[in-house]
Amino acid sequence: MNIGILGLGLIGGSLGFDLRSQGHHVLGVSRRESTCQKAIALGSVDEASVNISLLAAAEVVFICTPLALIVPQVEQLIDHLPTNTVVTDVGSVKAPIVKAISPLWNHFIGGHPMAGTADSGIEAAQRDLFVGKPYVLTPEATTPTSAITVVEEIVRSLGANIYHCQPEQHDRAVSWISHLPVMISAALISACINETDADVLQLAQKLASSGFRDTSRVGGGNPELGVMMARYNRQALLNSLQQYRHNLDELINLIEQENWSTLEHKLQATQQARSNFVPDLYRNPV
């Protein structure tokens, strides 16, 4: 199959590796000529160009640009495509994208692979990035079954686990488990660097170990991606942050009141609840 990828970065480049290894012919389009050349040299795509018309020959196109460019790029792309070309995107927020693109292109299905790293760009692309990871698809009632099937087959072949849901449900769910953690983790790092005693701050930096590495990881990631999450999933993220602030206030009150038994109950409840979010960690503890 001829498969197009628009935006050859971490996600687009990684998709290219896996699709090529399955024998698909991968056509890549990116903004910079140097990225196109790198993608060919690394083996992520068969052909690459800065000219979007290269994708006219693709049967399926994955849109893998930064979030803000997905809709404008699709608007440009569809002038070059036959009407039955299937278009899907990988954006981390779904409702505004699906709402804007669905009326423009009947064979469109929103998607979001729940896989990534803190790095970006074609150099960060890696093989098997999606293996064992959730991959959300948000088909509409009007999405042709043939378009859903073809995207599902490709996603399954990446080794990912498919979930279907409404775009709005997706955005609320990822707000809890992806976008809220980025903001909390950023706030944690920010709070630590507010330590006013330079000696204490330096000591804390020297003592930081696995706990801080885990809790600061997503707050120390790509700032552009964090801003995009906040801009495009603003309401869901604000709701999650307000609920989080409420929980933080509860903890502050319990500690101020030295209410150790209630604090312990609360921590017992969170210890139990965690396994529902990350069951693999409990089956294979590391």
- Interface contacts to ligand NAP, rule CB under 6 A: 6-12, 29-32, 35, 64-67, 69, 73, 90-92, 112-113, 116, 120-122, 225
Q: How far is the CB of 51 from ligand NAP (least distance, A)?
A: 11
How far is CA 95 from its chain centroid? Answer: 14
Q: Is 223 exposed, middle or buried (0-12, 13-18, 19+ CB in 10 A)?
A: exposed
* Amino acid found at 70: I
Residue nearest to ligand NAP (CB): 9
Q: How far is the CB of 225 from ligand NAP (least distance, A)?
A: 6
Q: How far is the CB of 178 from ligand NAP (least distance, A)?
A: 9
Q: Select from 33, 39, 34, 37 the least CA-distant residue to 11.
A: 39
Q: Select from 49, 44, 70, 62 the least CA-distant residue to 4.
A: 62
Q: Choose between 152 and 195: whose C-beta lies nearer to ligand NAP.
A: 152
Q: Choose between 78 and 263: whose C-beta lies nearer to ligand NAP.
A: 78
Q: Choose between 139 and 254: whose C-beta lies nearer to ligand NAP.
A: 139
- Apex CA 126: angle with CA 123 and CA 130, to 5°? 140
Q: How far is the CB of 282 from ligand NAP (least distance, A)?
A: 24
DSSP summary character for residue 9: S
Question: How far is residue 151's CA from residue 37's CA, in Å, rounded to a whole number?
Answer: 27
Question: How far is residue 274's CA from residue 282's CA, in Å, rounded to a whole number?
Answer: 9
Q: How far is the CB of 103 from ligand NAP (least distance, A)?
A: 20
Where do we find the tokens 């505004």? 96
Q: How far is the CB of 261 from ligand NAP (least distance, A)?
A: 40
3-state DSSP assignment of residue 91: coil
From the CB of residue 15, how many other CB atoms can be counted at a distance below 10 Å? Answer: 28
Q: How far is the CB of 142 from ligand NAP (least distance, A)?
A: 23
Q: Choose between 114 and 204: whose C-beta lies nearer to ligand NAP.
A: 114
- Apex CA 159: angle with CA 277 and CA 123, to 5°? 95
